[in-house]
Structure formats: structure tokens, C-alpha cells
Structure 1
Amino acid sequence: MTISLPEKLAAYFAAVNKRDVAGMLAQFGEDAFVHDEGEEMRGHAAIRSWIVKTTGKYGITADIQGVDAIGQALRVSAQVAGTFPGSPIVLHYDFTLGADGEIIRLEIGL
């Protein structure tokens, strides 16, 4: 079964699986917000630092399991594997997209 994602989200997950920092960052709006592992990042510089840190620390890959609308957000469920205890695990990525389809908010959790 193929799951259809908006263009920027498909590009984001393709970049995650390639560990392509620039490709991941390019999908975010300039003043985007990310919440992950109890930390909050806002803007490209902070989000880039988060991407570099988590990519280096965990080296994850994400296999998309589903996508649902949750209010104004899109919830993408993905089986995530990497170098962390309990791998693989299903995580939820709650995305809010801007007018041009760019990611303006991302919250990652169980």
C-alpha cells in the first residue's frame, strides 16, 4: 500500500532516510517550530542544530505507516529504527503546514 503525503512531508521523510540534513531543513519555514524529546526549537538555525544532533546520535530511518488529519495538523505515524533503546518504535509526527506547504510546526511523540 502506498501512502500519499503532501510534497514537503514526502521530501522531509526521504531526506530523513538519507540522513540529508539540508534536505530535511529545506522543508521547514524560516520561523518554524519543532518539539521533540522535551526540547523546543524555533527557526532554521535551531532546527538545523536539532537535525544534526539527532541524526548523528540516532541515525534513524522512518517507514511511514499512516497519515491522519488531527485538527489543523497532519499526523504521520512511522516505524522508526535507529541506534536508540527500544528500536524500532512507532512515533507520531504532528505537522502543521503553511500556505506554501512548508512545515511550520512539528511535534514528535509516542
Structure 2
Amino acid sequence: MAANARLDVSAMLEPFAADALLTDNGRAVLGRAELRRLFEEEVVAVKAIFTPDTVRHEDGQVVVEGPAHGDFKGSPIRFTYRFTLEDDAIKALEITA
């Protein structure tokens, strides 16, 4: 979250496993190269900063909720992030609005 607040793509990628799967409202992105492209084009480009206000554990996942603000239509939008962790890395992340 701190890396997102700085819009630091390299730091945002660090906690992800090399073969991590990110699903963003049904669209799948696999691996760090695709994650980097997504972060550069859809996070940094619109200065999307996620500010979590709720964290809980649910069905073996870490669920984080909160608004994202930035230069995009509808800002702010409330998102839910569902993290699946494996070996101290993010193996999967599902994002829904």
C-alpha cells in the first residue's frame, strides 16, 4: 500500500510471486511482466491511490477494502482486494469494485 501511495511500480511488484495471478473485475493478468504493464498503464497513469479502511481474514484470504482516488472516471471508487498468500508472497489477487 505504501508503494502504491508513492506510485512506485517496482516496489508494488516486490510482494508478488513471479507467477502471480491478478484478476481485476474478471480480467486476468498473469506474471510480473503483465502486472508491471497493468500498474504502469492503469495505476500510475491515472494516479490511482488505494486507501484501505478495512482488513479481515476470510476463507484463507486477506480481504482489504477501501476507496481509490485518482484521475479516473468515477473517482473515488470503493474496491475490495482479496489476497491469496503463499510462501510470504502474493500468489493471487482478486480486485472487485
Residue 21 of structure 2 is matched in structure 1 by: 33
Structure 2: 5+ residue runs without aligned partners?
none
Deviating above 6 A after TM superposition, structure 1's stretches of 4 or more consecutive aligned residues are: none
Q: Deviations over 1:15-63 (max 9, x none)?
A: 0110000000111011100011432111111111111111233211121
Match of 2:60 among 72, 85, 101: 72
For 2:39 and 2:26, the matched residues in 1 are separated by: 15
Q: Percentage identity across aligned positions?
A: 31
For 1:56 and 1:97, the matched residues in 2 are separated by: 24
Letter matched to residue 91 of structure 2:
I
Report the TM-score when normalising by structure 2.
Answer: 0.91
Report the TM-score when normalising by structure 1.
Answer: 0.81
RMSD of aligned alpha carbons: 1.2
Judging by fraction of residues, say which structure has more helix: 1
Higher mean C-alpha deviation, range 19-28 or range 42-51:
42-51
Structure 1: 5+ residue runs without aligned partners?
1-12
CA displacement at 1:104 relative to structure 2: 0.7
Does residue 19 (structure 1) correspond to residue 25 (structure 2)? The answer is no
Q: Per the alignment, in what secondary structure is the counterpart of residue 45 of structure 1?
A: helix
Judging by fraction of residues, say which structure has more strand: 2
Q: How many residues align?
A: 97
Does residue 55 (structure 1) correspond to residue 43 (structure 2)? The answer is yes
- Going from structure 1 to structure 2, the CA distance change for 1:41 and 1:55 (only over 3 Å counts) comes to same
